[in-house]
Amino acid sequence: MIGFEGKIGVVTGGASGIGAAVTRGFAKHGGTAVIVDFDQKRGMDLVEDIRGGGGKADFVACDLRERSQIDAMVKTVVSRHRRIDFLHNNGYAIWRGNDSAALLGGVGDEHWDHVMNVGLTSAFRVSRSVLPVMASQGGGSIVNTSSTAAYHAERHIGPYAVAKAGISQLTRAIAVEYASSGIRCNAVCPGVINTPLIAGAPLDASFIDGIPLGRLGEAEEIANVILFLASDVASYVTGALIVADGGRTI
C-alpha cells in the first residue's frame, strides 16, 4: 500500500498539470508536499486547497532557469522540513517564440537554450542539490518526467525530444551512481496528457484513433505511476522508464 506519512516530497513545476496531480496525491497519502514553481499565486492557491482538505503542503518560489535559485530552494526546503524523501523533476520548457514549431534547421539558439535549460539542465541541477541530502539521510526516491518523445522522432518538437531523451539517460545515470546510497531514480514517459499545456492543440480524430485506449490520458493517471515509483511499494525498481501513453507507441 502506498503511504508517505512523515515524508517530504518536492515537486518542481508542481502548481499545475501533472505536477499538481502529484502534489495532491503525495499529500493525500500522508506526505508533506512542497510545491516548487515560478507561479506564486497558483502555487499558494494549491497549498491552501490541500491544507483545507486536511493535507500538508508548502510552497517555495523558484525560477528553474536560475542555478542560484535552485540551490536556494533546496536549502529552504531542508531548513523548513529537515529532509527530502522524494523529488519529482517536472520542469516543463514552454517556448512561445515564432520558431516554436520550427523544424530543427529553423530553431533559434534562444529556443534551443531555453528548452535545454528548463527541460534538462534544471533537472540535473535540482538533483545535484538534492542527492547529498538524500544520501546523508540514508536514501530517497527521484522520479523524472520524461516523454514518449524520447523514444521516437516527430516533426516540430526536436528540442523537446532531445531534452527528454537526456532526462531518460540522466535517470539511468543517477540510478547507477546512487543505488549504494539507498537512492532510487526512475522516470515516467507520458504520451499526450489532457493538461492546460495542450489546451487548444489541434489534435484531430486520426490522432486519437492512433491511441489504442481511444483517448488522451489524464494528469491523475500519470501521477499514479509517479507516486508508485516514489513509494516503498516500488522498492526494487530503479533506472526504469515507464511508458504511460494509452498504448500509442506500440
Domain boundaries of the chain, sorted by first residue: 8-244
**Once rounded to an integer, what is the mean pLDDT over residues 219-243?**
98
Q: Which residues are catalytic?
A: 160
Domain 8-244 superfamily per CATH: NAD(P)-binding Rossmann-like Domain (3.40.50.720)
pLDDT computed for residue 205 by the predictor: 78
Contact yes or no for 147/189 (Cβ under 8 A): yes
- pLDDT of 200 above 60: no
**Once rounded to an integer, what is the mean pLDDT over residues 202-225?**
90
Residue carrying the nine cell digits 536556494: 72
Q: How far is CA 72 from the centre of its chain?
A: 19
pLDDT computed for residue 171 by the predictor: 98
pLDDT computed for residue 199 by the predictor: 61
pLDDT tens-digit readout, 85-101: 999 999 987 888 888 88
pLDDT computed for residue 96 by the predictor: 84
Joined together, the cell numbers standing for residue 85 give 524523501
pLDDT-based confidence at 195, cuts 50/70/90? Answer: confident
Residue carrying the nine cell digits 542539490: 129
Residue carrying the nine cell digits 503525495: 26
C-alpha to C-alpha distances, 3 to 29, 59, 174, 220, 249, nearest whole angstrom:
5, 21, 24, 17, 31
pLDDT tens-digit readout, 33-60: 999 999 999 999 999 999 999 999 999 9
